[in-house]
Amino acid sequence: MPNTKELARVEEAHKRFTGAHALCAGCGTPICVRTILNAIKEPVVVINATGCLEVATTRYPTTAWNVPWIHVAFENAAAVASGVETAYRVLRRRGKISKEIRFVAFAGDGGTYDIGLQALSGALERGHRFIYVCYDNEAYMNTGNQRSGATPFAAQTTTAPTGTRSFGKAQRRKDLTEIVAAHHIPYVAQASISDWYDLAAKARKAASVDGPAFLNVLSSCPRGWGHPSDQSVKIARLAVETCYWPLFEIIEGRWYLNYVPEEKLPVIEWLRPQKRFAHLFEPANQELLSEIQRQVDEDWERLLRRCERHETL
């Protein structure tokens, strides 16, 4: 388990991911990246798909990265990570490299749920030893908040607008964590920027397994979700407390629930502060609110049945 004081004492000059970036105020992604990289003890190489994180952290002539970093296209972060990890194993066998190195791929939900899913699936099936992190802000935020496979049902985006002919996205969110679990890899986890200790512990577990590991991290986006920039962590926490975004992990096929709210909040507590859901609170859309609550309850009950036991990190 990560030591709180140890993580807090990492000096700025030696941080793997610094504050020298142009990500939006309140963006949850730097919390995600810094927590994960600082929790991993071994040297790391980062593979970064095109997206908010890549664009805003490498504005020429500056960079926020203090580790070896590779920029790749939206669709091939997992493929590039596979190639780099394979080359590393070959060089170790030949005695060219002796140190233990961890390979971490970062991509948004657009580059993971949708564009990069084929490359991710192939890499997981082949068994490459790397950590794939999806910083999930639930839309294509880098290009203007278009809907993605991660966008929730009834959320408003620029390509799923609200009006007389549309109530937002008509489809349910893709369950990517479950899709990845179906690949039978050693470690899969769902986490949130609101619970950094849980996230750090899961990053360490992911780094320790001999094979692929996957972290799906809810990362709030003030601009796309429509909430004040100082409320990002609170909004992400409400997703956990309403059980819209449960914290759990799958270790060698066994499901463990990491957190159970003392009092499960209604999902409207998470929806209400976000402008992308404002239309749902109009009288004509009460059925949509009821449907979202039904979906959350159904998913939560199914997760409870799957989990062998509750494990608090």
CA 11 from chain center: how many Å? 25
Pair 274, 210: CB distance under 8 Å: no
Class (C level, CATH) for 4-310: alpha beta
Residue 11 has pLDDT above 60, yes or no: no
How does residue 15 score in pLDDT terms, banded at 50, 70 and 90? confident
3-state DSSP assignment of residue 266? coil
The model's pLDDT over 196-251, given as tens digits with 9 standing for 90+, comes to 999 999 999 999 999 999 999 999 999 999 999 999 999 999 999 999 999 999 99
* Residue 94: per-residue pLDDT: 97
Q: For residue 216, which phi and psi values (nearest 5 degrees)?
A: -105, 110
Mean pLDDT of 170-191: 98
Residue type, 151: T
Radius of gyration, CA atoms only, the chain: 19
* Residue 18: per-residue pLDDT: 92
Q: Could you tell me the pTM of the whole model? A: 0.95
Scored b (16 or more CB within 10 A) or e, 158-172 reads eebebeeeebbbeee
Query: Which residues are bridge partners to 216 per DSSP?
Result: 134, 190
Q: In what order do the strands lie in the sheet with 102-108?
A: 69-72, 44-49, 102-108, 131-136, 213-218, 187-192, 248-251, 254-257, 309-310
The model's pLDDT over 122-162, given as tens digits with 9 standing for 90+, comes to 999 999 999 999 999 999 999 999 999 999 999 999 999 99
Query: DSSP letter string over 83-112?
Result: HHHHHHHHHHHTTS--S--EEEEEEESIII
* Residue 276: per-residue pLDDT: 98
In the predicted model, what is the mean pLDDT of the chain? 94
The model's pLDDT over 32-66, given as tens digits with 9 standing for 90+, comes to 999 999 999 999 999 999 999 999 999 988 999 99
* Residue 226: per-residue pLDDT: 98
Q: Which residues are CB-neighbours of 171 under 8 A, at least 6 positions away? A: 153
CA 200 from chain center: how many Å? 13
How does residue 9 score in pLDDT terms, banded at 50, 70 and 90? low
* Residue 13: per-residue pLDDT: 43
* Residue 164: per-residue pLDDT: 87
Preceding peptide of 61 cis, ω within 30°? yes
Domain residues of the chain, as ranges? 4-310
* Residue 201: per-residue pLDDT: 97
Mean pLDDT of 12-31: 87
Choice between 12 and 250, residue whose per-residue pLDDT is larger: 250
The model's pLDDT over 261-309, given as tens digits with 9 standing for 90+, comes to 999 999 999 999 999 999 999 999 999 999 999 999 999 999 999 997 6
